[in-house]
Amino acid sequence: MFVLKPDEIKVEDWSTKLPTDFRLVGIIYTKESKLGQKPCTVCERENETKSAYSWCVNCSEALCKKCNLDHRRNKTTRHHKLVDIDHVELPRSGTDAFCVEHPDKKVEAYCLDHAAECCTACILLRHRKCEDVKPIEDAAEEIKQSKGMPKVEETFCGFKFFLEALLQNRVEGLKNFDDDIVKTKADVESLFKELSSHLTYLKTNIMFEIGKAEKEIRPELQDERDEMNSKLVAVQNDIALLQNHKKNVQPAQLLRDMKTLSEQERILEKYLRDHGQKLIEMRVSLKSNEKLLELRNMPEFGKVDVQGTLNDVILPSATTTKTCMSSVEPSLSSAIHKEFDVEGVSLLENGQIVLSCKTNKREELQDIRCPDVLSSLSLPGRPYGIKMIGATDGGVVLEKYGLILFRIQDSKILKVNEIKTKVNYDFVHLKEEFYFGCDREITAYDNKGNRVRDISVKNNVGYMAVRDDTSMCYTVYNKRELHCITMHGVPVFTYTDDNLRCALGVTVDHTGFIYVCGYNSMNVHQLGHDGKLQRVIFDKLPSYPNCICFSHCGDKAIIGCDGKVLVFNLL
């Protein structure tokens, strides 16, 4: 049934949104063909009308000249058999198909021995000795009734899911790339703006120094110049006086002037002797800083660093199938009985299980342990959520204490660091930040242990899990609720169910499905990407579940319970 909302489209355009009835199209096509009209099937899908030029036997479609050429050029269809449209008897209905070997013959049978379609000519020439040849309708009906078709459908459902995941990855990758381009260009512009501003500042300073030198030294040089000029004028006058006495001799005046000139001679001789030896030529120039010379000779301003990071997108294979987790039926592989309660569970890349454990006895056991390597690490508080952050590094939450960071090395669990903060049960590590839940608040710390921000929520935060790059999930302590929020506290969705009693551990698998443990209901709920219930995937468990995680290849689920570790096969 196809239903439109009244406000989506005008009434007169409703017919354009109705789904195509291919049987009706085939009948119309046959009628048009009998009347001599043979339209191109491909062009009709694009609401174009062109006359057919050829017929593709493999696709059972009529092609115009352009589509015929494109068909031959396309890598996937270039080997298809194309025949002249005038030499083909067109199908009587939209379901008839022609034989690839004999284009003028319709497919009427199917050889199960060779898995091949057959026309009457094929049966006589190539399949006379075959034992299992059936009418095409019967063979098709058997396939519909067999188990193979649902399996193929399920497989392709998985392919569709992963293609959507890959497409989403590329869409986000392209957006991130474009964002980086814009940011990098802005960084370059900002850097050059800062450099320009700094160069202007340096220019102002150097011009000030030049002006200062001009004000201090120039007046001195001018005074010396003026003094020397006046002395030169006086000497020139004295010379003229002597020359005048040679022509007009006045004895008394000559004697007086010679006495005066003799005194001036002594003074001038001393002045010239002093200034001739100490006269300094003052010059001004710019002596460039060595860094400036390096900048002038710099061959390039910098390099654009383009790095590729391998994304952890796991594709389905013959042995690992996470294509349709909503249809996987888990089977209990093993139940590891322990003398303690498993409050947190995680996995190393090599498949080894890492547990956070405690007992309720008077001499309380509180540690991290890795059963496969028979190693443990005692803890100073009650441990709960545990997660691996890298290949060998991880963290475990201690109630009201904080986070203990550890490393598994040489078959030993070693304490590396700690972040002391208020925390109840769990943490997540997202984009180089740690998020801790305590009462009605989630606190973010950076990798150095510095408090970054606080996020207020409406409920007491229980266990936590990363949903994607921008959001996280958390259960509500002693309630039947799971909430999903962004990194900044914006609500995404809320899940509640009466059959989820006392929601505890939560995790998200590689396909994006969310799993939440119901402690008192002894089950695990599987939620879709939108937070809606898909099914109760693990029901009536033999013990009370606290936490859950999945193997890296998605073929096993590990559930930590009171006194047990349950391992389920998912293939």
Residues 490-515, mean pLDDT to the nearest whole number: 92
Backbone φ, ψ for residue 66 (5° rounding): -65, -45
Select the more confidently predicted residue: 422 or 281.
422
Would you state the pLDDT for residue 466?
93
- For residues 425-461, b (16+ Cβ closer than 10 Å) or e, as one string? bbbbbbeeebbbbbeeebbbbeeeeeeeeebebebbb
List pLDDT tens digits, range 293-308: 777 777 777 777 777 6
What is the share, in percent, of the chain residues with pLDDT greater than 70? 84
Q: Helices 136-145 and 148-247 meet at what angle, rounded to 10?
A: 80
The domain spans of the chain are 17-151, 153-276, 330-569
pLDDT over threshold 80, residue 147: no
Would you state the pLDDT for residue 10?
56
pLDDT bucket at 559, cuts 50 / 70 / 90: very high
Contact yes or no for 254/245 (Cβ under 8 A): yes
Contacts for 192 with CB less than 8 Å, ≥ 6 apart:
none
- Separation of alpha carbons 559 and 505, rounded Å: 9
The verdict on pTM exceeding 0.85 is no
List pLDDT tens digits, range 358-395: 875 544 456 666 665 557 888 888 899 999 988 889 99
Residues 535-564, mean pLDDT to the nearest whole number: 88
pLDDT over threshold 80, residue 350: no
pLDDT bucket at 475, cuts 50 / 70 / 90: very high
As a whole number, the mean pLDDT across the chain is: 81
List pLDDT tens digits, range 54-82: 988 888 788 999 999 999 998 888 888 88
pLDDT over threshold 70, residue 355: yes
pLDDT over threshold 90, residue 483: yes
List pLDDT tens digits, range 92-125: 444 567 787 887 788 889 988 888 889 888 888 8
Question: Which range scores top for mean pLDDT: 73-87, 237-251, 353-367, 423-437?
Answer: 423-437
Q: How many residues does the chain have?
A: 571
Contact yes or no for 380/389 (Cβ under 8 A): no
User: What contacts 24+ positions apart, CB below 8 Å, involve 132-137?
Assistant: 133/109, 134/109, 134/110, 135/108, 135/109, 135/110, 136/107, 136/108, 136/109, 136/110
pLDDT bucket at 323, cuts 50 / 70 / 90: very low
Would you state the pLDDT for residue 518?
95
Would you state the pLDDT for residue 545?
94
Residues 130-137, mean pLDDT to the nearest whole number: 88
Contact yes or no for 541/557 (Cβ under 8 A): no
Would you state the pLDDT for residue 71?
92
Would you state the pLDDT for residue 363?
41
Residues 503-509, mean pLDDT to the nearest whole number: 93
Would you state the pLDDT for residue 391?
81
Would you state the pLDDT for residue 317?
44
Residues 546-561, mean pLDDT to the nearest whole number: 87
What is the share, in percent, of the chain residues with pLDDT greater than 90? 25
List pLDDT tens digits, range 199-231: 899 889 889 988 988 888 888 888 888 988 988
- Separation of alpha carbons 35 and 342, rounded Å: 78
Pick the CATH number of 330-569 from 2.120.10.30, 3.40.50.300, 3.40.50.360, 2.60.40.180: 2.120.10.30
Residue type, 239: I
- Separation of alpha carbons 146 and 123, rounded Å: 25
pLDDT bucket at 8, cuts 50 / 70 / 90: low
Q: Which of 88-92, 97-101, 507-511 has the lowest mean pLDDT?
A: 88-92
Residues 404-422, mean pLDDT to the nearest whole number: 88
List pLDDT tens digits, range 165-185: 888 888 888 998 999 999 999
pLDDT over threshold 50, residue 417: yes
DSSP 452-465: EEEEE-SS-EEEEE
